[in-house]
């Protein structure tokens, strides 16, 4: 009986504590890339390096805390590689914009093209 009571108390503490640190999806945060369709590779020996800039924006009139944005580069051709990068911000203020740069290396001469997806979450 004593052991069951201890387990119930531990379960209640665990469940109530889990809600304090979790992030939830945030549809207000947006990510754009003006140059994703026009990435010109830079040759570095037997590799081409593709780089794109991403603008992370908070267009809302609300401050978000504990923000995580995950950006995934998706290749248009099957022989090119995908890449995902997560960035964390402690706070994203109203109307604030951040810029992130993502680079990926491919074998030279492949002519890769990419699109992207993103997920944003915050502690609100």
Is residue 86 within 8 A of residue 69, CB to CB? The reply is yes
Looking at residue 11, its pLDDT comes to: 55
Q: 65-94, pLDDT tens digit by residue? A: 999 999 999 999 999 999 999 999 999 999
Looking at residue 35, its pLDDT comes to: 87
Domains delineated in the chain: 24-122 (2.60.40)
- Mean local confidence (pLDDT), 28-48: 93
- CA 51, CA 109: separation in Å to the nearest integer? 16
Percent of the chain scoring above 70 in pLDDT: 82
- Please name every residue paired with 99 in a beta bridge, in sequence order, or none if there are none: 55
Is residue 99 within 8 A of residue 55, CB to CB? The reply is yes
Q: 4-27, pLDDT tens digit by residue? A: 555 556 556 655 555 455 789 999
- CA 66, CA 88: separation in Å to the nearest integer? 7
**Tokens matching residue 57:** 């924006």
Nearest CA-CA partner of 102 in 53, 55, 43: 53
Q: How many Cβ atoms from other residues are within 10 Å of residue 50's Cβ?
A: 22
């Amino acid at each position: 009986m004593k052991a069951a009571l201890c387990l119930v108390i531990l379960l209640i503490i665990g469940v109530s504590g889990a809600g304090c640190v979790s992030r939830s999806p945030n549809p207000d945060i947006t990510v754009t890339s003006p140059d994703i369709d026009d990435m010109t590779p830079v040759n570095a020996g037997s590799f081409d390096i593709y780089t794109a800039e991403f603008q992370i924006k908070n267009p809302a009139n609300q401050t978000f805390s504990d923000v995580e944005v995950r950006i995934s580069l998706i290749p248009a051709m099957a022989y090119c590689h995908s890449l995902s990068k997560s960035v964390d911000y402690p706070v994203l203020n109203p109307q604030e914009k951040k810029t992130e740069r993502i680079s990926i290396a491919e074998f030279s001469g492949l002519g890769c093209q990419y699109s992207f997806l993103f997920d944003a979450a915050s502690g609100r």
